[in-house]
Amino acid sequence: MGHYAAAVWDHKAGIEITKDWNGIDQVLLRNPRGASAKVSLHGGQVVSWRNDKGEELLFTSNKATFKHPKSMRGGIQICYPQFGDCGILDQHGFARNKIWVMDENPPPLNSKESLEKSFVDLLLKPSEEELKHWPHSYELRLRVSLTIDGELTLTSRVRNINGKPFCFLFAYHTYLSVSDISEVRVEGLETLDYLDNLSKRELLTEQCDALTFESEMDRTYLGSPKVVAVLDHERKRTYVIEKDGLPDTVVWNPWEKKAKSMVDFGDEEYRSMLCVDGAAIERPITLKPGEEWTGRLMLTAVRSSFCFDQLELQSKGFF
């Protein structure tokens, strides 16, 4: 890291503001090695994450619509304050459909945080109109940062501004780009209990050594470990997904039949994506007035070969 002086590469130096097709601001984060990430004020959604070779690591559907207020199919969506359809709000809550605001003078989140990353802070607060539907005063601060190694970190802080205690669920709905779903294996979820969302959230226990995919899957793994790995053999790439404050992991692939029923998703696109979401779903988070919650997701994409990925995962503390 030595020769990238903090003064040359601070969080502002690596930032560019662009507009999307609807004129809504997007923030492009870049690092000196050529990796990048793009975050939209529409939904606070990460719409792109590229490595230093310019390869896109997140999936976006070719049929995705970029029309406010509908969220875009792909990237990383913020699901808050509801996950799925269990609640009074629209599926996955309202955060992914709102226009967020960029904080021009973001505070330091903690003293240990290095400036040698480019980052942006987006804010979401309820309007008077929104308080009629969900009467809780909150501030949601999302920090998206990109390091010199191309690691992408999303840190969300929810604060109860005043009033009464409230509860919420949260998920980083993360669409990973994969070569072919039949070549993919997820490690770290073996032996865990999960809710099967395809059979009325029935509680089951994972029996397989590693997850592989042959049909539709929609599961919430409970009390999952801090690190989960998604291995893509054909592309020789391993995604390492690390999380804090997010006890659950959702794994979703719509497969053929559901893909055909989704208007903003191609019939065959289920082959090239997999959603693995760090989440807090089983136990709602409760905040008393003035309290704050933090949930963090760190994504790394490493080159893997049969032996090498063992070493990489080891160095990440996976084994």
Ligand X SMILES: O=P(O)(O)OC[C@H]1O[C@@H](O)[C@H](O)[C@@H](O)[C@@H]1O
145 binding ligand X? (CB under 6 A): no
Contact call for residue 151 and ligand X (CB under 6 A):
no
Taking the least distance from each CB to ligand X, the nearer of 29 and 47 is 47
Within 10 A of 108 (CB to CB), how many other CB atoms are there?
A: 8
- Of the candidate residues 146, 250, 259, 276, the single one contacting ligand X (CB under 6 A): 250
Give me the 156-175 binding string for ligand X, x by CB under 6 A, dash otherwise. Answer: -----------------x--
Distance of CA 176 to the CA centre of its chain: 9
Residue with tokens 């409760």: 286
- Comparing C-alpha atoms, which of 37, 54, 245 is closest to residue 122? 37
Kindly tell me the burial class for residue 315, based on how many C-beta atoms sit within 10 Å of its own C-beta (0-12, 13-18, 19 or more): exposed
The minimum distance between CB 173 and ligand X, in angstroms, equals 5
Number of residues near ligand X (by CB under 6 A): 10
Would you count residue 35 as binding ligand X (CB under 6 A)? no
Kindly tell me which of 37 and 275 has the beta carbon lying closer to ligand X: 275
CA 291 to chain CA mean position, Å: 23
Q: Which is nearer to ligand X, 49 or 194 (CB)?
A: 194
Q: What is the largest CA-CA distance in the chain?
A: 56
Q: Judged by CB under 6 A, which stretch of 27-35, 84-92, 137-145, 295-303 contacts ligand X? A: 84-92
Among 10, 20, 32, 84, which residue interacts with ligand X (rule: CB under 6 A)?
Answer: 84
Q: Is 73 annotated as a binding residue?
A: yes
Query: Which position among 41, 274, 275, 287 is part of the footprint of ligand X (CB under 6 A)?
Result: 275
Two tokens at 235?
């592309």
Q: Is 30 marked as binding a ligand?
A: no
At residue 111's C-alpha, the angle toward residues 107 and 116, to 5°, is: 80
Distance CA 169, CA 99 (A): 20
What is the nearest approach in angstroms of ligand X to the Cβ of residue 141?
A: 23
Residue 159 is labelled as binding a ligand:
no
Rounded Cα–Cα distance for residues 317 and 127 (Å): 43
Q: Are strands 152-160 and 292-303 parallel, antiparallel or unpaired?
A: antiparallel
Pick out the residues of the known binding site: 73, 91, 96
The residues of the shown chain that bind ligand X, judged by CB under 6 A, are 84, 91-92, 173, 197, 218, 250, 252, 275, 277
Pick out the residues of the known binding site for substrate: 73, 91, 96
